Structure 1
Amino acid sequence: MSQERSTGSTVVVGCTVVDGRIVEGVPALPDAGVWVRGDRIAAVGPRDEVLAQAREAGEHETVDLDGAYLTPGLVNMHTHLSLSLPGSGGDGVKTMSPHELALYMADGARRTLLSGVTTVRCVAEKDHADFALRRAITAGRVPGPRIFTAGRALVCTGGHGHESPDTLECDGADGFRRGVRSQVRAGADLIKVMISGGIAGEHERITTRQLFPDELAAVLETAHAWGRRVTAHAGPAEVIAEAVSLGLDCVEHGYELTEDVAALMAERGTALVPTLLVTRCKEFFDELGVPAWMQARSLGAGPRHLDSYATAVAAGVEVLLGSDMPPFWHFEGTNASVRELEYMSEAGIGPARALYAGTLGPVRWLRAEDDLGTVQTGRYADLIAMDADPVAHTSAFRGVRWVMSGGRVVRDDRAGWDVR
């Protein structure tokens, strides 16, 4: 089993602190000290100054990271801990009892945290099990990342994902208003809506329009009235353009963006979670027994998907990390979250911006920047450490060897803890 060590007052030394503010001119801090008191950061600065502050306040433990780079934990903005794609692997999840599903998701949450992802945004989970999981993590009964969740995604009758209990079928403007309110009532932090077809729907195309304008407007108006942002599963440019014009806050996938639509997204401040992995993951599909029709649709969309992402980056669209694949899943020599971030970096934004896209950018979209996303006084002590510089190479995140969540060390490879 993995272990946890409680740290009432800890000074982390032997590290260079760097976070997403580097793209805004805040430089890395070498030979730093980070004082963690309880679950939050009490001070950050030069090592000796922070140690002196901690000594003056009383007893503390010192943790030396031996020259590591210390960053905030990663934030994965497209997570499904109850994912069940078509195929034998997904069928196994679909047939789980509620008790089995809860344990399955709890194990996924544990693996996610240990991989260095300390916050997730769930964008469709089965039967509202995500809310129970979030309560269990908050209460300290199970280890896992901080969870922001949409609850069940809203779909039209027969729409994308309708066959799974992680979606809620709605029709008409009034039906979608009720759908939004039902997720808010359950405790949703945001709303997810399926506005086009996708790669996992056998009887649809990526370009299939699935909501009428009055239905989409009802989702956006109702969610915004309740202070919730809306993200949309969407592929084709014309459907995305309509949604952005109506006030959509975020696009998932965006397989077929054009220059005009990307420019509109940048102008309106609509973010993109590109999920590049989903159109270049044959190994993952084979592992889950995904049928040939879905593999052909997904992998065939890969080149256009990458062009779409590059178009968004060139237009200045805010791009954010989200893997769709379970965040912890071992893939191409690392976990899915890191591999997605590498793809994003290599395909247009570079390492410094990738650090931002995997930490501070998502936290700002979640409106949680006062608590998360940077290594600053007052923020939660959700921290990860690696030996290489992530601003030089995004692949540095492959070497995460130490994880702290809310002031508790949950992974330390030097101590020989089992983190599988």
Structure 2
Amino acid sequence: MTPLHLHGVVLDETARAGDGARDLWVDEHGRFTDGPIADAQTITGWILPGLVDAHCHVGIGPDGPVELEEARAQGHIDAAAGALLIRDCGSPVDTRPLDDDPEMPEIVRAGRHLARPKRYIRGLPIDAEDPADLPGLVAEQAWHNPWVKLVGDWIDRDEGDLAPLWPDDVLRDAMDAAHAHGARVTAHVFGEHALPGLIGAGIDCIEHGTGLTDETIAMMAARGTALVPTLINVENFPEFADAAGEKFPRYGTHMRELYARASATIRAAIEAGVTVYAGTDAGGGIVHGRIVDEVEALADVGLGRDGALAAATVAARTWLGRPRIEAGAPADVLVLPSDPYADLGVLRRPVAVLRHGRVLAP
């Protein structure tokens, strides 16, 4: 691999437009190192840690699980769009054979969704026939993955609306099982009623969170529970409601209500101090490669440009335990033509996207 010389403003936690340019060096192994390096190729611009998509599904397509080569293509799309680190938030496909592909993003995995029978999308989860089986299933997933993904609520066909899947005591045992293995737990939650039990049980993160109330927002803020709101997927809620048709009218009405107040709900969580990260839900109703759309949506809903960039770069990398721009770390960066803190649109026009020192785009 050709060594690289990156020259420009390095956008870490503190750098802004007034900071001076620096020189970074990438060795033949694709890692940051001390320089200078003779005959290195120079790339100039604003240097930003690679974007993080904290809610992505590599291995899921519109019709369910996909073959491994299609999962590879999904990852290539995400990486070329700048998402060089993803938290795969539940997938039925074992994508570990793709880890040696230099054009794939780094994947932090959550294993398969855990649900109850007929309470999630067919073909995706491992189903617990008895709710009491959940802690054991969580422990199994935690043994193999740093995250575990629960389905916290889904439509109950008898009630005709969103309803929790798990009793509170089972959730507490499940969180203990995951944490004992050093794993963290997150959950899909659209509505209101599953949230108190999940947050009270010590869950580490909530996905979507459109049913948050003042009470559950306060619980999250006090406990340090993170939120990944997947705002661009929330835009699909009216379509989800329409698809319910006449069969589940209560569900349809509920989803439209959640959609109508979603921006205000997420803004209230931000204002209360809940930590928010950027995630697209690609594969779960969203096409891959849209991380910049989610960054812009987070900025508009209350994080602002600075907060939205942190939620998709330095803060997210720290949360997931991955390095940023530092000696020995993989050179996973975007080189941009101008300051993204002044205009997020430049994220769509990179000079170069580097994954482990390899130029992926443009």
TM-score range, shorter chain: 0.7 to 0.9
Unaligned 5+ residue runs, structure 2? 246-250
SS at match of 1:376: coil
More helix by share: 1
TM-aligned CA deviation for residue 81 of structure 1: 2.1
Question: Of 175, 179, 184, which aligns to 1:229?
Answer: 184
Question: Of 241, 247, 261, which aligns to 2:196?
Answer: 241
Alignment of 1:99-114 (within 5 A): 101-114=67-80
Encode CA deviations 1:292-325: one digit per residue, 9 max, x unaligned: 6499875653222212101110101000000113
Contact 2:81–2:348 at 8 Å: present in 1 too? no
Structure 1's 70 and 173: CA in aligned 2 closer, same or farther, altered over 3 A?
same
Alignment of 1:316-335 (within 5 A): 316-326=273-283, 335=289
Structure 1's 282 and 206: CA in aligned 2 closer, same or farther, altered over 3 A?
closer
Unaligned 5+ residue runs, structure 1? 1-5, 44-52, 85-89, 414-420
TM-score (norm 1): 0.76
SS at match of 1:148: strand
TM-aligned CA deviation for residue 61 of structure 1: 0.8
Structure 1's 352 and 202: CA in aligned 2 closer, same or farther, altered over 3 A?
farther
Tell me, in whole angstroms, the C-alpha distance in 2 between the residues paired with 1:386 and 1:330. 24
Structure 2 counterpart of 1:136: 98
Question: Of 303, 322, 327, which aligns to 2:260?
Answer: 303
Tell me, in whole angstroms, the C-alpha distance in 2 between the residues paired with 1:227 and 1:35. 34
Structure 2 counterpart of 1:42: 33
SS at match of 1:251: strand
Encode CA deviations 1:127-168: one digit per residue, 9 max, x unaligned: xx23xx33332x23x62100111110111222233x22x211
Structure 1's 401 and 233: CA in aligned 2 closer, same or farther, altered over 3 A?
same
Structure 1's 298 and 174: CA in aligned 2 closer, same or farther, altered over 3 A?
closer
TM-aligned CA deviation for residue 209 of structure 1: 1.3
Contact 1:354–1:394 at 8 Å: present in 2 too? no
Encode CA deviations 1:244-287: one digit per residue, 9 max, x unaligned: 2221100000012122221221111100000111221489x69x
User: Would you say how many aligned residue pairs link Structure 1 and Structure 2?
Assistant: 354
Structure 1 counterpart of 2:293: 339
Tell me, in whole angstroms, the C-alpha distance in 2 between the residues paired with 1:397 and 1:206. 39
- Does residue 80 (structure 1) correspond to residue 57 (structure 2)? The answer is yes
Aligned partner letter, 1:120:
I
Contact 1:11–1:60 at 8 Å: present in 2 too? no
Contact 1:54–1:60 at 8 Å: present in 2 too? no
Structure 1 counterpart of 2:42: 63
Structure 2 counterpart of 1:404: 354
Tell me, in whole angstroms, the C-alpha distance in 2 between the residues paired with 1:377 and 1:204. 55
Structure 1's 33 and 318: CA in aligned 2 closer, same or farther, altered over 3 A?
same
TM-score (norm 2): 0.88
Structure 1's 299 and 325: CA in aligned 2 closer, same or farther, altered over 3 A?
farther
Contact 1:206–1:236 at 8 Å: present in 2 too? no
SS at match of 1:118: strand
> Could you tell me the percent identity over the aligned residues?
25
TM-aligned CA deviation for residue 72 of structure 1: 0.8
TM-aligned CA deviation for residue 172 of structure 1: 4.3
